[in-house]
A and B are shown apart, each in its own frame.
Chain A
């Protein structure tokens, strides 16, 4: 969620039950401003909170002008001092796939995994990889919030007035906030209906498994909340007909592998 509208966003996302305590909120507001200045980000998003055994990680992401370019991720344990995380690589992902269980809470903690040989994986690596996976899988943005300029860079759409009430209930009006993967596989017929300046990302409609998103209207149609069932704890909220939208992850950082059985 945008740090500019942090308070409102937290209020809107509170339906999931997990929020932030007042002192964390206050410290976030101040520290995120400083982060924005220091790293010269165009926008800073408060990504969420990963619950771990000892201490929680607070994650923020910084965006540059082009909204889809790789984001810089920062973490903090106390919402005041932020440290930059290295970008995620595939190797990291492979390593972390063997680690199970909760986060420890200590970034320097090392997990030991013995397969053919003893491998030690740092918690920081795991953190990076999990954040990246979550982003790729379930970061959501409503259709029309970003648009693509003819030169390539993606920009925030300042004329985005929000989805209408009927559009807000459909999964197809929400996109994954990442480089499109499935777009090229669409048939020509489908592509003909798309607007190239708005529909340049994958829609949530075709996510596998089907039904891995729970879409609900709260507060009597004035707020639409999408919750991911694949990564439990990710909440996306949007107030139709307004510009407020955002997503936040508050969870343990574990993928719900049992999803197909639970539906």
Chain B
């Protein structure tokens, strides 16, 4: 096992490339004996690629040893620096280096490494045999011999290492110095032989550089390079100091490689999961903050002047008494969303209509009445497609063989603000999301909606696949259902509304409700009465005829007379000229008590009860529709 750091250090030193610094390389290799590319001759660089535990004193290479000694002699490095500069000095540094190397090696080393290192080292050692210091040299040599002989055992290493302990002090000193990468000072401290041979270092240096470059080459497959990998591996081993490190070295290598890849996955997963939650929270935060944008004064005036926003919380409180509700925070958010709606659109009157559950998402519906003049734009837009359709159909008739079948004339939809299109409906999926306006409903849609029964998915553009085929997508179906529900279940206590004038003409669009208005003289009906008798409740939305409209339209009229149709509608009841098969459709007039509602399969259409049996004096009357489950009306008697 070699530490990569020493290797790095060694190589760094090599990069410094100063001839007089062969020792630096040795030193940098670190405390532990590491393979080092010594400035050995280039020829030996090849075999030295692997981490080699022995740092042979650079002196050896300097001395002309051909083999670059990759042996790292950490401690030994310190000693050799000065001597390394000269070939003559190499022996001593070498010896020292070897000794130093020995010392750290005792802690953790793999014999294999040693053996590898041993080989070049040996060479170097042998080469340095002509070094000055015989003793150290011999030690080295012996060490080298030992290595050479054993190459598989550590014990030989240990021998020389012990010797090196003698020099430990000096080595340590040198270590510190060398750590700073200031090789110059090291050299000074080191043995006096500072004169580095210039020839050898340069070759050594180049050799080392080549070796390092090779180690740094990235793998084409994994993007790692050997240099870094070895460094990490050795760092890991040194940190953990496992037993028998040499046996598990392959596993360690594998673990280090695996660590490279796992980190990225973690961050990705975390990011994905959090996003949807925060998105909604952000949007709803916008809801809460929007009120703060405008100036305080202006806000107050606007809000007081407009009565358009309903008091949703108050109604929610009463509904809660009845056991119907969406939860307080949800209701409050809906309240804020309605406020946002009224702020962005010129709305005269607004009401929270309800919530429709869907498969994927739900709809929150708001019933809205615009100021006059707001709807004209829409009318124009929608007339255009209708005209186009007429044109197309005529063209077809000319070209193809004429069929005698005349499709029943499409019943035109009611004008805005009248009949089934009296209110405009906005929907959103969740409070905070933008409000979408639903298109006006056509009679054909209502007729078909009566025949099919489909779930809502929550997306407005979903096509409705059914038989009979529904003309339109989910937004149309939703609108049709809303119209039917409103017509069927919007009730109010008797007398709350009354007719303004008896025969109000419908062309007048002066902002009055169709034919009723609030009765200022309404005194309230006792809650008990409301519960007991259903005749105290009346519908305040026009009933939708089987034709699909609230006001009867006679389709027999020829197309030229279409424009006059509305004006003549009132007269239709008097005219009896219609062809036989079209019958006049009459629905119950407005403000009919609900006691007149038909039963469905023996089920009375409404259930009325008090909200609480325990405290009747403050209870409210709750009316629940059995036809449309989920439709509730309440009254508190005022």
Contacts and interface: CB of A to CB of B under 8 A. Distances in A.
Interface of A: 11, 14-24, 49, 51, 53-55, 78, 100-102, 165-166, 211, 214, 216-217, 219-222, 227, 229, 251-252, 258, 261-263
A14 B614 contact: no
A23 B603 contact: no
A18 B280 contact: no
A195 B529 CA distance: 61
28 contacts: A11-B327, A14-B327, A15-B326, A17-B326, A17-B357, A17-B630, A18-B324, A18-B630, A19-B324, A21-B320, A21-B321, A21-B611, A23-B615, A54-B607, A165-B277, A211-B359, A214-B358, A214-B455, A217-B276, A220-B278, A220-B279, A220-B281, A221-B276, A229-B359, A252-B629, A261-B453, A262-B455, A263-B455
Contact of B603 (A53, A166, A211, A220): A53
Contacts of B355: 17
Return the 6 tightest CB-CB contacts between A and B, nearest first: A220-B280, A14-B327, A221-B277, A21-B323, A214-B359, A220-B277
Nearest to A211: B359
Interface string B349-369: 000001101111110000000
Given A23-B612, A258-B453, A263-B455, A18 B607 contact: no
Nearest to B275: A221
Contacts of B320: 19, 21-22
A258 B326 CA distance: 27
A111 to B, nearest CB: 11
B280 A14 contact: no
A248 B354 CA distance: 21
B604 A53 contact: yes
Nearest to A55: B609
A214 B607 CA distance: 29
B455 to A, nearest CB: 5
Contacts of A217: 276
A198 B279 CA distance: 34
Interface in B71-113: none
Contacts of A18: 323-324, 630
B41 to A, nearest CB: 61
B453 A262 contact: yes
Interface in B431-475: 453-455
Interface in B539-577: none
B325 interface: yes
B390 interface: no
A78 to B, nearest CB: 7
Contacts of B281: 220
A220 B629 CA distance: 27
A101 B276 contact: no
A262 B613 contact: no
Nearest to B356: A17
Contacts of B362: 15, 216
Contact of A53 (B278, B284, B361, B626): B626
B611 A220 contact: no
B298 interface: no
A17 B326 CA distance: 5
Contacts of B612: 21, 23
Contacts of A221: 276-277, 280
B387 interface: no
Contacts of A15: 326-327, 330, 362
A159 B280 CA distance: 30
B277 A19 contact: no
Nearest to A23: B612
A160 to B, nearest CB: 20
Interface residues of B, number: 43
Given A23-B615, A220-B281, A214 B323 contact: no
Interface string B298-327: 000000000000000000000011111111
A49 B324 CA distance: 12
Secondary structure at the B interface, as helix, strand, loop or mixed, is loop
A100 B601 contact: yes
B433 to A, nearest CB: 11
Contact of A14 (B322, B325, B607, B615): B325
A227 B357 contact: yes
Contacts of A51: 624, 629
B607 A17 contact: no
B273 interface: yes
A17 B325 contact: yes
B325 A101 contact: no
Contacts of B322: 21
Nearest to A12: B327
A227 to B, nearest CB: 7
Nearest to A24: B323
A31 to B, nearest CB: 13
A214 B454 contact: no
A252 B626 CA distance: 9
Given A217-B276, A221-B277, A53 B607 contact: yes
Contact of A16 (B284, B357, B607, B611): B357
B181 to A, nearest CB: 50
Interface string B251-286: 000000000000000000000010011111100100
A16 B603 CA distance: 24
A78 B613 contact: yes
B344 interface: no
Nearest to B317: A22
A124 B281 CA distance: 46
Contacts of B326: 14-15, 17
A216 B456 CA distance: 13
A165 B277 CA distance: 10
Nearest to B279: A220
A22 B619 CA distance: 12
B222 interface: no
A189 to B, nearest CB: 28
Interface in B318-352: 320-327, 330
B354 to A, nearest CB: 8
A18 B615 CA distance: 22
Contact of B601 (A53, A54, A101): A101
Contacts of A220: 276-281, 284
B602 to A, nearest CB: 6
Contacts of B609: 54-55
Contacts of A14: 325-327, 330
A102 B323 contact: no
Contacts of A258: 453
Nearest to A26: B614
Contacts of B361: 216
Interface centre among A102, A222, A229, A258, by most B CB within 10 Å?
A: A102
A227 B630 CA distance: 15
B455 A229 contact: yes
Given A18-B323, A229-B455, A263-B455, A102 B603 contact: yes
A219 B323 contact: no
A211 to B, nearest CB: 8
Contacts of B273: 165-166
A132 to B, nearest CB: 22
Contacts of B284: 220
B360 A262 contact: no
Nearest to A232: B629
Given A23-B612, A166-B273, A17 B324 contact: yes
A29 B323 CA distance: 16
Contacts of A20: 323
B453 A101 contact: no
A180 to B, nearest CB: 27
Given A53-B603, A102-B626, A262-B453, 14 more contacts: A15-B326, A15-B327, A17-B357, A18-B323, A19-B325, A20-B323, A21-B612, A24-B323, A101-B601, A101-B602, A166-B273, A214-B357, A219-B280, A220-B279
Nearest to A18: B324
A229 B457 CA distance: 12
Contacts of A219: 280
